[in-house]
Amino acid sequence: MRVLVTGGTGFTGSHLVRRLLNMGHQVRVLDNQPGLFHDELKRLGADITIGSVTDRPLVRRLTDGCEIVQHMAAAFREVNRPKSVYWNVNVEGTRIVCQAAVEAGVRRVVYCSTQGVHGNVDHPPGDEDTPIEPEDYYQYTKYQGEVVVNQFVDQGLEAVTLRPMAIFGPGDPARFLMIYRRVAKGRFIMAGPGRALYHPLYIDNLVDAFLLAQDAQGVLGRAYLIGDEEFVTIKDLVLRIAKAMGVEVQIVHVPFWPVYAVSALCELVYKALPGEPPLFRRRADWFRQNRAFKIDRARRELGYDPKVSVDEGLRRTAVWYRENGYL
């Protein structure tokens, strides 16, 4: 089978590409940038094109002959990007991918959205019927991407949406690495009491879900929250990461709101400066927002079953960070 993976040299995409190649599929990748894994994926047999999902003729050409499109390219990690970038990539890019899939006769499109479309969950754990209340423009555009996907479903495209929790695992260059690094120092500054709920998702479990979504029946136009078996408080997460690393960590609590105010100020100041602010509101929100969900719908309708436990995933991630010189 030939599969197109957009965002396929990124953290999540590269794991999916490896698995698909391992299964004997032909894999095309479209990504903005070579990333950490370009050479490895190429060696494994991936056909990689550096370019944008907003490039209509390119997307159309790469979609030709594909049975499946796994669409996970997204404007994502950078703060202070103009809103137009998020809209063009996450909404218009998704429209271009879906249109190309229709024209090329693709059998199914799997769209990678995010749990973030639900924002803070007032009564955790939430589920897919929890109100859509994105907290920032990135999350808003990811949801608008879902709307676009479902417009195409109404016109006959086979497509399904996944809403992953907080993805972690080998190769994650960002959020979890930051937590591991702080834990490695033996002292973790926690804004607030650390009681916010957090739902991790080990990368191999998510890849299982992407593969299930390619073939599951009766799922068109549906959205599925994908997470690990359990969710934890952020304080517990820090302690479990320390355990996974085999180190002691002291958690030092500071009040939340001053941290939030400084984050907002940093964002403002850095508007006029190059680079990313050291603190920004989305990062500060990590300390207070509840992000915990049931994964019953995915279990029932996709046959999803997270096989790697949170602790095992954290341990494997620690090993990868150490072996690759990140810690």
Ligand X SMILES: NC(=O)c1ccc[n+]([C@@H]2O[C@H](COP(=O)([O-])OP(=O)(O)OC[C@H]3O[C@@H](n4cnc5c(N)ncnc54)[C@H](OP(=O)(O)O)[C@@H]3O)[C@@H](O)[C@H]2O)c1
Write out the catalytic residue numbers.
138
Q: Is 30 in the site for ligand X (CB under 6 A)?
A: yes
Q: Is 314 in the site for ligand X (CB under 6 A)?
A: no
Q: Which stretch binds ligand X (CB under 6 A): 6-14, 17-25, 40-48, 294-302?
A: 6-14
Closest C-alpha to 213, from 93, 310, 141, 107: 107
Closest C-alpha to 284, from 313, 310, 299, 262: 262
Give the length of the chain. Answer: 327
Least distance in Å: CB of 125 to ligand X?
A: 17
Number of residues engaging ligand X in binding (CB under 6 A): 29
Q: Is 54 in the site for ligand X (CB under 6 A)?
A: yes
| Residue spans of beta strands (DSSP E) within the chain | 2-6, 26-31, 47-50, 68-71, 108-112, 159-164, 166-168, 187-191, 197-198, 200-202, 223-226, 232-233, 250-254
Q: Is 33 in the site for ligand X (CB under 6 A)?
A: yes
Q: Is 80 in the site for ligand X (CB under 6 A)?
A: no
Q: Which stretch binds ligand X (CB under 6 A): 7-15, 152-160, 207-215, 282-290?
A: 7-15
Question: Of 119, 125, 164, 169, which lies in the binding site for ligand X, with binding defined by CB under 6 A?
Answer: 164
Q: Is 320 in the site for ligand X (CB under 6 A)?
A: no
DSSP codes of every residue in 9-29: TSHHHHHHHHHHHHTT-EEEE
Find where tokens 């094109």 sit.
49
Question: Of 29, 79, 89, 97, which lies in the binding site for ligand X, with binding defined by CB under 6 A?
Answer: 89
Q: Which residue is nearest to ligand X (CB)?
A: 10
Contacts of 156 (CB under 8 A, 6+ apart): 102
Chain residues in the site for ligand X (CB under 6 A): 6-7, 9-13, 30-33, 35, 52-54, 72-77, 89, 93, 112, 114, 142, 164, 166-167
